[in-house]
Amino acid sequence: MVTLENILAEIKEKTANFDATGYDGFLAVQVSLKDIDKVFYVEIKDGKLSVEPYSYDDRQANMIISSDNFVKLINGKLNSVQAFLTGKLKIEGNIDKCKEMAAVFGGKAD
């Protein structure tokens, strides 16, 4: 079973070499893992990347997905467009910010 702790550890490993100092703008995306009823957020602000296990009230977008599908998504085993079109991924808010988040994880934002 996938846990929030496993997912956060994997994200931190994937983003360990991400240099947010060159990121132009602000990013605040919450991920709601519907099957385990957990949330976390990804934020880039003032050249710093943060991934925290909390709700983000002023988020720009909310991705709603199962934990297994999120892991597949960030590992490039699930296409984001296909996931969205088949209902495996729902997005509330700014879809472009979700694409930017995918780029942070090294995934494709197609």
CB 59 within 8 A of CB 41: yes
* Digit-coded pLDDT (tens) for 39-74: 999 999 999 999 999 999 999 999 999 999 999 998
**Predicted local distance difference test score (pLDDT) of residue 70:** 94
Q: Does residue 98 lie within any of the structural domains?
A: yes
Segment 89-99 shows an average pLDDT of 94
Q: Does residue 109 lie within any of the structural domains?
A: no
CATH of the domain at 32: 3.30.1050.10
| Number of separate domains in the chain | 1
Instruction: Answer yes or no: pTM beyond 0.85.
Output: yes
Nearest to 69 by CA among 82, 88, 84: 88
**Predicted local distance difference test score (pLDDT) of residue 107:** 53
